[in-house]
Copies of this chain bind each other. A is one copy, B any other.
Amino acid sequence: MKDLSQQGTQTAHGGPSFLVREGEIVETRQGGGYARLRVVLAPPFAAPMPMPEPGQFFMVRLPWGPALPRALSPIAAGDGWIELFIKADGLLRGEMAAAPPGTRLALRGPYGTPFVRKANLERRYVLVGGGAGVAPILHFAAARPDLVASLALGFRTPGVRALLPGADVAVEEEDGTTAFGRLAETWQDGLGVIACGPLPLLAAVSRDARWSPAAYVSLEARLGCGFGACLGCTIPTPSGRKRVCVDGPLFACQEVPWLG
C-alpha cells in the first residue's frame, strides 16, 4: 500500500489523485430523507489528500456497496475531513446513511473542474440548489462569498432543515415555494446563475432566457472512472463531446442546448 500511495500522490499541482484513501464516518445526522455525514481521513492517508474545491467530487465505495464507485461532492471540507450531504436512497447512499459511526469508506479524488474555473468570475451569482444538489452549492457559497448574490435552496419536505443550520430553505410541502421560485424572485439583471439539482430543475433554469446566457448547471451522469478515461459520462455539446467528470460537472447552458 505504501508504494501505491506514493504513486497515487505523484500528482502535479494538486491534480487528480488515483489513490484510494480510507475515510471513517465519525458522525451522521438524518432528516427528511437526507443524511449529512462527517468523514475523517484515516491514517496514514490524512495528510496527502488534496483539498477539494467547490464543485469537485470524490468517487466513493463501501466494501458491501455497489462495485462501481459513486460521485459525491462535499458540502464542506477542511484539513483531513469532509462533510457529505446525500439523499438517503440508492445502493450506496442508502447504506452510507444507515452505517454506524466507525464505518470506513473508500474515497478517491477529488475530481472534476472546480466551479470557479468554469464560471465567469466577473459576475455575481444566484446559487440554486435542489435536493442533494445543495452540497456543492453550499460549499461554493462558503468558499466564495464575493461571488454570491443570493441563495435559492429547495426541498420537498421540511425534515432536512436540521441538517443545514443557518440556511434559508424553501420547502414545497409547506407553502409551495421551490428553489426555482426563489431564483425567479431574487434574480436581477446582471446576475448569473449556478444551479445543481434534479434534471427538471436544471432544465427549467436553462430554458429561461432571462438568465440562461449567464447560467451554469452542474450535471449528473452515471460515472465509471471519474477521471476522464472510460467515456461512460460523455455528452454532446456544440463544441464536440464533453466528459461530465472532467470537463464538468459544471457546464454553461449554451454548452448543453439539448437540456432546456
Number of A interface residues at 8 Å Cβ cutoff, please give it.
4
**Could you list 4 A-B pairs, sorted by A, with CB under 8 Å?**
A63-B64, A64-B64, A100-B102, A102-B102
Instruction: Kindly report how many copies of this chain are found in the complex they form together.
Output: 2
Residue of B nearest to A95 (CB): B63
| Assembly CA distance A63 to B63 (angstroms) | 9
Q: Which of A8-51 contact B (CB under 8 A)?
A: none
CB distance from A82 to the nearest CB of B (A): 23
Give A68-89 interface residues, CB cut-off 8 Å to B: none
Residues of B within 8 A of A100 (CB): 102
- Compute how far the CA of A102 lies from the CA of B101 in the bound complex, rounded to whole angstroms: 11
Q: How far is the CB of A211 from chain B (nearest CB, A)?
A: 47
**How many angstroms from the CA of A218 to the CA of B16 in the assembled complex?**
55
Name the interface residues of A54-75: CB closer than 8 Å to any CB of B: 63-64
Report the Cα distance A141→B63, complex, angstroms.
39
A259: shortest Cβ distance to chain B, in Å? Answer: 38
Q: Which residue of B lies closest to A102 (CB)?
A: B100
CB distance from A100 to the nearest CB of B (A): 7
**Cβ distance A250 to chain B, nearest Cβ, rounded Å:** 35
Q: A22 vs B250: C-alpha distance in the bound complex, in angstroms?
A: 45
Contacts of A63 in B (CB 8 A): 64
Interface set, chain A 101-131, CB cutoff 8 A to B: 102
- Give the distance in Å from the alpha carbon of A27 to the alpha carbon of B63 in the complex: 22
* Nearest B residue to A63, CB-CB: B64
Contacts of A64 in B (CB 8 A): 63-64
Whole-angstrom CA separation of A100 from B101 in the bound complex:
12
Top 4 nearest A-B pairs (CB, nearest first) are A64-B64, A63-B64, A100-B102, A102-B102
Min CB distance A151 to B, Å, is 39
Smallest distance from the beta carbon of A221 to chain B beta carbons, Å? 27
Least distance between A69 CB and chain B CB atoms (Å): 15
Could you tell me the distance in whole angstroms from the C-beta of A48 to the nearest C-beta in chain B? 25
Chain B, residue nearest A65 (CB): B64
Taken residue by residue from 86 to 101, chain A's Cβ proximity to chain B (1 for < 8 Å, 0 otherwise) reads as: 0000000000000010
A63–B99 alpha-carbon span in the complex (Å)? 13
A112: min CB distance to chain B, Å: 28
Interchain CA distance A102-B100 in the complex, whole Å: 10
